[in-house]
Every structure is written in C-alpha cells, then in structure tokens.
Amino acid sequence: MRPVEKWNAGDPDGASGQISHSYIPHGSAASALIRNLGYFCSYCEVFDSNPQIEHVVPVIQDRSKQYEWSNFLLACSRCNGADNKGSKQVVVEELYLPHLNNTLLPFVYLEGGKVQIREGLSPEQRRRAEKTIKLVGLDKYPGNSDYPLHNPRDKRWEHRRKAWEVAKRKLSAYLSGNLSAQAIAEFAHQKGFFSVWYTVFRAHQAVIRELIDVFEGTKAHFFDENDGYSPIPRGD
C-alpha cells in the first residue's frame, strides 16, 4: 500500500487556494485530494480516472467527520464498496493507513497479484496488518480459502498480476538499455500499483527515485536511500 503525505488544513491546495478543515459537500474536496494523492485508490493502488472520496472513519460511525478533510482519502469503488471497506467500523490505531503509516512495511507484493503480511512482524503488528488487509479485502483472490465465495467481479488481484507482468517486461527493457528510469516511472504512473513497481525495481535505485518523484504524495523521506530505499517506519 503506497504511503502518502496528506496536506493539512491551511496548506496550499495545489491550485490557488488553501486546504480547508471541512468541505461541504464532501465532493468539493475531490480536486484538491487528487492534486495531493493522484488518481489512485489509496488501498489497492489502481489508477482510477474517477476515484471516490473515501471516509476513513465512516459517516455512520461518526457524523462529525463527514466533511472533515483529515478524514478523506481516495478509493476505487471496489475497495470502498460494501463487500470491502464500505461502512465497517474503523479504529484508526488498529490499522495501517497510507496517510499515517509507512504502509510499505507491513505488506509484501508477490508475483501472481498476491499481497501478504510481511514475515517478522511482532504479534501486535501482525494483528494490525491482518485487520487492514481484511478491511479492504486486499487478499481476495480465487482460491484463497479465507474467501470461499470469491466475487468474480473483484478483479483487483488480476490487475495487480498484470501490473507485475508488465513491470517485469519493463525491467528487461531497462536492463538491456532500451528504456529510461523516467520512462518507466511515467508509464507506472499511468497504470497505478506503485507497490508492485517498487517491488519489481527495488534493486534499481534510479527507477525507485523516479517512481517516488512522479507519484503524488509519496515522499523521499519515507525511504532510506542509504539502505536501498527501504521503507522507514512512520507514525508508529
């Protein structure tokens, strides 16, 4: 899950104004959110030309946060849908969230479109990671026994798998000198799935640098450039 730095109320909004504490209706926050975070789902990371404004704490749980900028992220309709995050109860401290934590740390991305919890986490970290993954259904794919009734319309795993395959092909082209780091990052930015690109190109720091540069909201200081751009813990 791609970590992002959200702007705060009072910060420049990327156009000619400032971020407000609240947006009424909440849809009026869309353009500022997109300038801040790009056209990507905050959870599955797919490129989405029309992302939904996602209430991190659902409105049904806390009406006071309905219009609050700090409670918004962007999400695709699948992650935000009733079969996934929807209006489920959220305790922020029990989750890893992309605007608060370095969400590259608790999860690993694998060939085949799978997302798993990283080995070596403490039991408490593992619980948080597990809660997060189940809340948005990031581990939903056909054949996962946790979900015997996989919704065939949930293709997020398949899009991730394809992103992985494309990234591997781009890696071959990069290694044979036929593609620049910048061209790869620009291509990735049109497709989404930052975490897949980051994983596949992990050994190639010039590409990682370009990826961090081109994906809105993802910052160089989330990474240790002296340690292969490994993710640095944040907010926890």
> Is residue 212 at the binding interface for Zn ion, with CB under 5 A as the rule?
no
Of 139 and 213, CB closest to Zn ion: 139
For residues 83 and 224, which CB has a smaller minimum distance to Zn ion in the complex? 83
Count of positions on this chain that bind Zn ion (CB under 5 A): 5
41 binds Zn ion per the rule CB under 5 A: yes
Q: Write out the E strands in 14-58.
A: 52-55
Q: Is 79 or 129 the residue whose CB approaches Zn ion more closely?
A: 79
How far is Cα 76 from Cα 41, in angstroms, rounded to an integer? 5
- End-to-end Cα distance, the chain: 16
Residue type (1 letter), 199: T
Which range, of 39-47, 56-64, 166-174, 220-228, touches Zn ion by CB under 5 A? Answer: 39-47
- Closest by CA to 42, choosing from 218, 233, 168, is 218
Q: Applying CB under 5 A, does 214 fall inside the site for Zn ion?
A: no
Local structure of 196: helix, strand or coil:
helix
Using CB under 5 A as the criterion, what x/- string covers residues 143-182 for binding Zn ion? ----------------------------------------
218 contact partners, CB below 8 Å, separation of at least 6: 2, 3, 4, 5, 194, 211, 212
Looking at beta carbons only, is 65 or 156 nearer to Zn ion? 156
Cβ distance 163 to 197 under 8 Å? yes
Angle at 184 between CA 178 and CA 188, to 5 degrees: 150
Phi then psi for 61, rounded to 5 degrees?
Answer: -85, -35
Residues 42-71, one symbol each (x = binds Zn ion by CB under 5 A, - = not), give: -xx---------------------------
Between 76 and 214, whose beta carbon lies closer to Zn ion? 76
Of the pair 193, 223, the CB lying nearest Zn ion is at 193
What is the footprint of Zn ion within residues 74-103 (CB under 5 A)? 76, 79
Q: Which residues bind Zn ion (CB under 5 A)?
A: 41, 43-44, 76, 79
